[in-house]
């Protein structure tokens, strides 16, 4: 059974997470679309590690108006939370954790590694694993307006419609004809509707993020992608791989943007091979 832990960092950030197992911590950072239950299919495949599943701020406990929160502030808040979590694991005398992020969680993991490197604390984590980081190619970002379109639906009282727009455009890449039927078979869907403000806030951050030519992160990185997800995310995953000083890139054939939960065994096997080779 998992144990629930909570602490408050020196800067007042409240950290809450579940811990599964006693091995090396692997911190699982979910994307904007799903609650932390997203990782349930993945956790059993990391039984030799100690899966750490945080409840990041805003997801389920939405903060502020999505249109009043600055894009940079959103990502800074996420990074601050993950750093506080890493600090708490260190206090508990754990080995340096691996950060495994999906989508916006992958972007957060990468930016956390950059922040730790900039502060001379790169040894606080062992590695970063990023599945299709939520980064838009420059040409795509110039015309990105998903956050505004979602906000318009939300302002009109259509919470579910706002989230359907995100699922259709990002999760499914516009390739499902009967969206309602698909959603009826997706276990996390009802809970996702409650996260609409946070997802809009996250999308504003993604649309304003600019990938530098070089990501100064000392931690080794494994970048993953799937052939069935949005083409722009596959393109960005390769760009992230090229920008990182120490990175390995793996693409899963026949897997969508929901790779970790869709193909948990393949994901865990690649992570295990990557860590064992170090």
Give residue limits of the domains in the chain.
3-137+210-276
User: Which region among 32-36, 59-63, 125-129, 250-254 has the lowest average model confidence (pLDDT)?
Assistant: 59-63
**Residue 126, token pair as written in the block:** 């062992």
Please count the helices (runs of H) and the strands (runs of E) in the chain: 11, 8
Residue 45 has pLDDT above 50, yes or no: yes
Global pTM reads: 0.89
Alpha carbon of residue 256 to chain centroid: 15
Residue 227 has pLDDT above 90, yes or no: yes
Task: Find the mean pLDDT for residues 93-120.
Answer: 94
Residues 6+ apart with CB under 8 A from 196: 150, 154, 159, 162, 163
Residue 64 has pLDDT above 70, yes or no: no
Superfamily of domain 3-137+210-276: Alpha/Beta hydrolase fold, catalytic domain (3.40.50.1820)
Maximal CA-CA distance, the chain = 52
Residues 6+ apart with CB under 8 A from 6: 14, 15, 16, 17
Q: Give residue 33's pLDDT band: very low, low, confident or very high (50, 70, 90).
A: low
Q: Give residue 211's pLDDT band: very low, low, confident or very high (50, 70, 90).
A: very high
**Residue 50, token pair as written in the block:** 């100690």
Task: Find the mean pLDDT for residues 67-96.
Answer: 81
Residue 243 has pLDDT above 80, yes or no: yes
* Whole-angstrom distance, CA of residue 103 vs CA of residue 78: 13
User: Which region among 10-19, 39-48, 67-76, 157-166 has the lowest average model confidence (pLDDT)?
Assistant: 67-76
Backbone angles phi, psi at 220, to 5 degrees: -60, 150
pLDDT greater at residue 278 or residue 110: 110
Residue 228 has pLDDT above 70, yes or no: yes
Q: CA dihedral defined by 42, 46, 51, 54, rounded to 10 degrees?
A: -20
* Whole-angstrom distance, CA of residue 254 vs CA of residue 29: 23
* Whole-angstrom distance, CA of residue 206 vs CA of residue 203: 5
Which pLDDT belongs to residue 197? 84
Which pLDDT belongs to residue 185? 86
Which pLDDT belongs to residue 66? 43
Q: For the chain, report the end-to-end CA distance as a whole number of angstroms.
A: 30
pLDDT greater at residue 22 or residue 264: 264
Which pLDDT belongs to residue 69? 55
């Amino acid at each position: 059974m998992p144990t629930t832990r909570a602490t408050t960092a020196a800067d007042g950030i409240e950290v809450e997470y579940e811990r599964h197992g006693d091995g090396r911590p692997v911190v699982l950072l979910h994307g904007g679309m799903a609650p932390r239950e997203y990782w349930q299919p993945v956790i059993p495949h990391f039984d030799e590690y100690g899966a750490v599943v945080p409840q990041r701020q805003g997801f389920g406990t939405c903060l502020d108006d999505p249109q009043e929160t600055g894009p940079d502030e959103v990502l800074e808040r996420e990074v601050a939370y993950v750093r506080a979590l890493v600090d708490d694991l260190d206090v508990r005398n754990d080995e340096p954790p691996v950060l495994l992020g999906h989508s916006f969680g992958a972007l957060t993991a990468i930016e956390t590694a950059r922040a730790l490197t900039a502060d001379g604390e790169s040894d606080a984590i062992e590695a970063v694993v990023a599945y299709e980081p939520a980064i838009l190619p420059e040409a795509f970002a110039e015309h990105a307006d998903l956050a505004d379109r979602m906000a318009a639906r939300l302002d009109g009282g259509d919470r579910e419609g706002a989230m359907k727009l995100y699922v259709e455009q990002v999760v499914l890449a516009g390739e499902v004809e009967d969206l309602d039927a698909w959603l009826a078979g997706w276990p996390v869907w009802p809970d996702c509707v409650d996260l609409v403000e946070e997802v809009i806030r996250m999308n504003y951050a993604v649309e304003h993020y600019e990938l530098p030519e070089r990501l100064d992160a000392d931690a080794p990185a494994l970048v993953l992608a799937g052939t069935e997800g949005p083409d722009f995310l596959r393109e960005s995953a390769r760009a992230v791989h090229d920008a990182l000083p120490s990175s390995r890139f793996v693409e899963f054939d026949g897997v969508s943007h929901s790779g970790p939960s869709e193909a948990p065994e393949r994901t865990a096997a690649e992570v295990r091979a990557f860590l064992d080779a170090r």
